[in-house]
Structure 1
């Protein structure tokens, strides 16, 4: 009989690898592993569950046993997966529809549980995560603001800039300029070291 565990704190591919290694160390057989969820080949005894909890916690992960917290983690994992798709340029995409489809619950229920557990709305959470993706691309890519706005599903550069400034207090171009200045200072410091 398969067992599905919900794991809090999984946000990227490296997290999947870390959890997989931790579970192998415990000796359980993983059938499927994705952000926030692991399917094991067999049922777990209480000592095995405790052992899994013990190996996950030092790495910043925790098992979710509360159904409301589990739903919130599923929402977060679904949002991250949607943002990782990088095809949000189709502005007809509605996160509410995608979450309903992914979680097989109506959006009002998902939203109410999320707000109750997290103390913020799903919409605010999604905007924050979209802007985190914008920051990532501003720092680590050569994409233009137009390309970033398109990929993160903002209707325009102006809309992106407005949301970005509201959250960070900076415009995206100022954020990128600050990053460029820091990079230049690092490069000069490095050149001074090797000279």
Structure 2
């Protein structure tokens, strides 16, 4: 059975808006249990191990990834490792650089989990950087109004993709994401019409 694995961003959770949109859309179309949205460890290496075990348990070629922000950064690494289709939504392509500014105590507002982000975690992130993406694996979705990340970095990192959604305005959450739910399910080969 085809699956869509949603990978949430930094200090987010498995119940993020985009994950909820995808789960609800799939269920309304009769595709129960096709969208997987795990709560990930805040530690990059542990999050990757969690995701790899889910991908491998569901047969990699049956899994399509969708990652938002830091989840997009993780998704790109996993896409290359397993050579599987992936949707990147306002991805944090420069995660090791961006998160350096946030070193120190953190509190996830969705899970109330307190932890400390350290330099060691930046090293873990650096090991996940994708330098030569396989263009035909990706659907890149960016909005120029992203108030957290520079959308141009994603376009530079992924200059060619199987599909590109590049919109002006918007924000980091990707305004109007629900418009794409059916197309995402088609890209994942869950929905065939």
TM-score > 0.5 by shorter chain: no
Q: Which has the higher strand share?
A: 2
Q: TM-score, normalised by structure 1?
A: 0.30
Larger of the two Rg values belongs to structure: 1
Q: TM-score, normalised by structure 2?
A: 0.30
Q: Which has the higher helix share?
A: 1
